[in-house]
Structure 1
């Protein structure tokens, strides 16, 4: 029961962050490891029954990335726009962070989180 409650609040927060980041539904599915559009739509509507544990891990990374960006950048537009802007750091090779996160799944999310944490020093 607790895991389902966590999934519900985590997914609601995840989708709000995705709105702020302007992430497409396809990218949202990739971040969550869910390629089934019906399931993704069901989660968006609040049906959280049977949400796999790895989805909670993915959501945790997104929340951490969001928090770190809002710590690094002094204004909300900078923080929320960073994820979609091309990045010259070697990890990103000129691509936006969303590309790495969506393509590499948990590994990409972890890499972006680690990169941002290192920026905090």
Structure 2
């Protein structure tokens, strides 16, 4: 009897993982009410051709940068759903609200993230993880 060892880690570079990540991303963007331009920026300043290709939710191997960005957004979504577990609509509104806490300095989390760097998404994720405790 031969046992085949299975890698317990999913292949995040597979086309299927790319489709799942994009499905999550576009669903979240709908809840957040983000424009196409904002979505392109959050995905790493992708062009229109790539954006419309991604919107079709293909089995596509996403670049590491894109996967990292979507991963941060997933973490934010999870943290917000926990923080606002009794009011899910507030979890989606939070990104649009002005925030006086560092690092936002009066702007919304979405405005902060739209500076476009991966670190901006990481900062928001870290902030939410800190608030959540």
| TM norm structure 1 | 0.92
- 1: distance between equivalents of 2:17 and 2:54? 13
Q: Which position in structure 2 is the counterpart of 1:92?
A: 104
Secondary structure in 1 aligned to 2:105? coil
Q: Which position in structure 2 is the counterpart of 1:22?
A: 33
Secondary structure in 2 aligned to 1:103? coil
Q: Is the CA contact 2:45–2:116 (under 8 Å) kept in the aligned structure 1?
A: no
- Give 1:50 deviation, angstroms: 4.6
Give me the CA root mean square deviation: 1.5
Greater share of helix: 1
- 2: distance between equivalents of 1:40 and 1:111? 24
**Larger C-alpha radius of gyration, 1 or 2?**
2
- Give 1:99 deviation, angstroms: 1.2
- 2: distance between equivalents of 1:21 and 1:102? 13
Q: Is the CA contact 2:16–2:60 (under 8 Å) kept in the aligned structure 1?
A: no
| TM norm structure 2 | 0.85
Summarize deviations over 1:77-102 as a string: whole Å, max 9, x none. 11000001111112111111011112
Q: Which position in structure 2 is the counterpart of 1:82?
A: 94
Any unmatched runs of 5+ in structure 2?
A: 1-10
Q: How many residues align?
A: 121
- Give 1:70 deviation, angstroms: 0.6
Q: Which is further off, 47-56 or 15-24?
A: 47-56
- 2: distance between equivalents of 1:104 and 1:38? 19
- 1: distance between equivalents of 2:41 and 2:116? 9
Q: Which position in structure 2 is the counterpart of 1:72?
A: 83
Q: Is the CA contact 2:113–2:121 (under 8 Å) kept in the aligned structure 1?
A: yes
Secondary structure in 1 aligned to 2:75? helix
